[in-house]
Amino acid sequence: MHPYPAWSHSVGDVEAHHRTNLKNGLSEPEAAARLAEHGPNALKKPDPTSLWAMVLEQFDDTLVKILLLAAAVSFGLAFMEGGDDGELGIGAFVEPGVILLILALNAIVGVWQESNAESALEALKEMSAETAKVIRGGRLVPGLGAAGLVPGDVIEVCAGDRVPADCRVAELKTAILRVEQAALTGESVTVQKSVDGLSSAHCELQSKETMLFSGTGIASGSAVCIVNSTGMETEIGKIQEQIEEASNEDDDTPLKRNLDEFGEALAKIILAVCILVWLINIHHFLSFECIGNSWIPDTRTVVFSFGKATFYFKVAVALAVAAIPEGLPAVITTCLALGTRKMAKRNAIVRRLPSVETLGCTTVICSDKTGTLTTNQMSAVTLVVLGKSAKDIRDLAITGTSFDPDQGEVVGLSSIDGAVEQVALVCSLCNDSRLIREKGAFKAVGQPTEAALLVLAEKIGVEDGKLQAKIEASRRGSGDATGACDSYASGYAKIATLEFDRDRKSMSVLCRPASGRGLGTQRSLARRLASPGKSEEEPNNVLFVKGAAECVLERCTTAMLADGSVVPITAAMRKAMNKIIDGKAQHALRLLAMAVKSGSGELGALASYTGEHSHPGFKLISDPSKYETIESDMTFVGLAGLRDPPRPEVKSAIAGCHGAGIRVMVITGDNKTTAEAVCRDIGVFAPDQDLEDASLTGAEFLAMPDAEKTELLRTPGGLCFSRAEPRHKQEIVKVLKQIGEIVAMTGDGVNDAPALKLADIGVAMGISGTEVAKQASDMVLADDNFATVVAAVEEGRSIYDNMKAFIRYMISSNIGEVVSIFLSAALGLPEGLIPVQLLWVNLVTDGPPATALGFNKADPDIMEKPPRRSNDHFITPWILFRWLVVGVYVGFATVAVFAVWYTHDSFMGIDLSADGHTIITFDQLRNWESCESWRGFRASSFTAGSSMVSFSNPCDYFSAGKVKASTLSLSVLVAIEMFNAANALSEDNSLLKVPVWSNPWLLLAMSISFGLHFLILYVPTLATTFSIVPLSVNEWMLVLAFALPVVLIDEVLKFVGRNFVNVSSTRAARADTGKDKDV
């Protein structure tokens, strides 16, 4: 149900529709009936996700499911082994216990993150007013709970109130009603509301001049309003619905999609390899004779060994454990957490860990204008005053982009002449705003435009050098921020204010010079323009005026020159001034003209008005219809151009985006002209670019057919969308995502929250941002600066590269473990690596180096490369080939060293006979299960460290006696993985160019991993747990002989990659983004 379009109907029509009247409001019974019909004026609270549902969601992952299955099978085998032996040992449960512990920790972290993810909806409720002043049954109820409001209620609002519901302005109790609705609409200035400004029923929010919206604030004035919609029917209620919809459309991050794709492929490979291992070894536990010459088995001859079948089933389980990178989720989480710390140092506070990586593949940044690209601090950027003659028009530039008076100056102003002094007086006196210092920064209290005029007056300063120095010293010492303004204002006492209205587009103050409180050496306007017969002790009142440039200039008949003299405004002078006004308007400046009026002949009764009701001037001041007459025949003193200036660093940041292949789109609630001017200034558009197809309003975009929307958003270059509402922003983000873009969206207002939630990366402003925007976002900018977004993208790319490095390191090692188990099974060798050893390597030994790879420094040209696309595959054919080559060698080396110990007493000059172990042939090793049938076979005991490994049955040489060969396999695996970590420092650069010491953390991590391996080798209790024994020096030399070749193999692969494979792929990617079109 759509709310009644009260903004397109008169007050009488609205009263009739809601069956109410301004005098009496609703009766209590009628209000109660409507409350039952419409429900309370509150935002709906969505049903929370149950804890159990969130827990189950954490296990909806392919890798996790494989681990769960492996744990279940391991538990079953542990019980079976315990049943056979008559007791259950703790060691049998180490493997499944560790797997379940990892899964439990991951689930806890995931649930904790999700339970904090939807708090944006709660922040919306905080924006709602708690009480309201409502007229019920003809009497005012001052503190009615806002939840009790219903459509048709008559309420009163005044300055400082938060609007409790969407209301139609019915009656103004002051001349002006201004509302701060930037958080809802994105407008950079407060908005004036009226009773009669009717709009189209389907217009955008910014055009609804007669409406007040729930959650916005009254900046000035008071009014009587009729409640039009409440609760979820309000504009803020619609935003809540959009946030909920966006939450439901949350997509996985590119990294998660890549890992899921990898997990599914890995599951299929594991299943295939497990089945293959069983088929290869089926003859070990199942034998039969065929009937005749056929393939049909004779069931009478079938022999099945349950023990051997169980053994090879364990081999298959070990293979699954080896293939799964159990430590990968923990290492990824650690790397992302380290990334958040790096980003925090660059003023980007990450709220959701996966967003760190997503930033690295951002292809489009959709940025709000106000407060992100601009400072959200109105600043005067130009001052136009007359010089020595009427033809001498001085156009002075003003530097500075904030409310800090000491940041900038009026360029070319060597002295404070008569006209400039009057400009400072108008800025100081026609002003109700204040500047305050808060946490070391200057902030405006009141209208930003008026605060900018105060800053202009401070930059002009006072003529007295000693006084000016004192003012500046006080400001630097945390004293008064507006010393110059106070000095100007001290010479006058305000008597009356002629408030602004939309017809004459100006406001003024009537001031009386304060005797004895002037500016000393400065000239006094009152004396200069006083009537001839007036004494200096009793000067005339002065009218100071500011307003829209074209309107004020039209009502001026004279102008002030630099020396303070006044000359008539000629037709030529007026034409020249209007030309300047038109030229500056094209740059989206807000132009304010300033004028003065003094003398009994000009002001009439107001020249001597003191504020008393009995004075003849009171009648003039009390009648707003006379204000335009009063503000006529004035003396023009100057013209100021104001704007919300772009941040100084934004232009270079956008140039950096272009260099990185990232498109920038500006989406703002501000008007089209202002938005286009800012876009030209910051480099989104070229200065002379035709904007016919590059700049649209939100409504124009929404009205386009889907095909045209897609074509527009695919067009290279920047785009600008003005007058954008929340639904417009959502539609833009949605279409961008549909065409495969990775979208980062910045915003600060409530109106930005749905789009922030929908985007791949929602970036909220930390200083000016509403709590709703922050909690809907993935990242918060501590400095509200667009350049910080670009820095975060650079950091995200670096983090992704580092994650690729440690994933390459871990996966190639896991492939090596799979190959090792497969080769052992295929060759019929005893099991070289048992599951608990593989778990130790994957979780503990591999962990520190993988984490340390997250500290790799970013490539110098990282922001000169095009972004990766969302559909780019994590595993390319070349990457898979590299993994397989390294993995096959790892598997070969671990199996080879196992076989060498059994079959050689020396190898490559390394003596292996010192321990006294029995040498056998490779054929015997392959057929070890037939040991019982070997005649005369004997296996002697051998030493392992300070202990002796002995066995009563010679065939135990291949089970209990394999402990040293197994230790050698494990040690070769650990050593290779340490060297492999060094290889992973750079994807294509040689270790000669990027040496190990370029990342000191990796050296430390490798030392820790080797230390942990030595710990389990040389601490007897741990060695028993992992079924390993200490190694001698010669045996360590054998380990290095098999481990070091992996460095040479990877160096060859890197050479091929950097000279052949990646060169062509990089060129193709750059051509796809258009970066090499001129090459």
Q: Which residues are bridge partners to 509 per DSSP?
A: 497, 544
Whats the size of the chain, residue-wise? Answer: 1079
Contacts of residue 59, defined as CB under 8 A and 6 or more positions apart, other chains included, come to 65, 68, 103, 107
Contacts of residue 876, defined as CB under 8 A and 6 or more positions apart, other chains included, come to 1065
SS3 593: strand
Pairing of strands 139-145, 348-350: unpaired
- CA pair distance 650, 372, nearest whole angstrom: 9
Q: Which residues are bridge partners to 666 per DSSP?
A: 367, 720
DSSP code, position 371: I
- CA pair distance 88, 1024, nearest whole angstrom: 16
- CA pair distance 522, 428, nearest whole angstrom: 15
- Per the structure block, which two tokens stand in for 427? 């800025």
Amino acid identity of 395?
D
- CA pair distance 139, 484, nearest whole angstrom: 48
Q: What is the 3-state secondary structure (H, E, C) of 597-662?
A: EECHHHHHHHHHCCCCCCCCHHHHHCCHHHHHHHCCCEEEEEEEEEECCECCCHHHHHHHHHHCCC
- CA pair distance 42, 445, nearest whole angstrom: 30
Q: Please, is 465 exposed, middle or buried when counting C-beta atoms within 10 Å of its C-beta (0-12, 13-18, 19+)?
A: exposed
SS3 530: coil
Orientation angle between helical segments 786-827 and 963-983, nearest 10 degrees = 150
Contacts of residue 928, defined as CB under 8 A and 6 or more positions apart, other chains included, come to 828, 829, 830, 955, 958
- CA pair distance 668, 537, nearest whole angstrom: 54
Long-range contacts at 92-98 (CB < 8 A, ≥ 24 apart): 94/836, 94/839, 94/1025, 95/71, 95/321, 95/835, 95/836, 95/839, 96/70, 96/71, 96/72, 98/326, 98/839, 98/843
- CA pair distance 508, 546, nearest whole angstrom: 6
Find out whether 774 and 375 touch, Cβ atoms under 8 Å: no
Strand extents, DSSP E, 504-551: 506-513, 542-548
Cβ atoms within 10 A of the Cβ of 28, count? Answer: 11
Cβ atoms within 10 A of the Cβ of 1014, count? Answer: 14
Alpha helices (runs of H) in 346-394, residue ranges in sequence order? 354-359
Find out whether 509 and 430 touch, Cβ atoms under 8 Å: yes
- CA pair distance 718, 679, nearest whole angstrom: 9
H or E stretch at 573: helix 571-585
- Per the structure block, which two tokens stand in for 62? 């392919």
Active site residue 644: no
SS3 247: helix
Catalytic residue (choose from 368, 417, 644, 1050):
368
Strand extents, DSSP E, 771-911: 779-781, 906-907, 910-911
Cβ atoms within 10 A of the Cβ of 884, count? Answer: 14
Find out whether 510 and 543 touch, Cβ atoms under 8 Å: yes
- CA pair distance 254, 267, nearest whole angstrom: 20
H or E stretch at 16: helix 11-18
Pairing of strands 695-697, 286-287: unpaired
| Ramachandran region, residue 70 (left: φ > 0; alpha: ψ -120 to 50; beta: rest) | alpha
Catalytic residue numbers read: 368
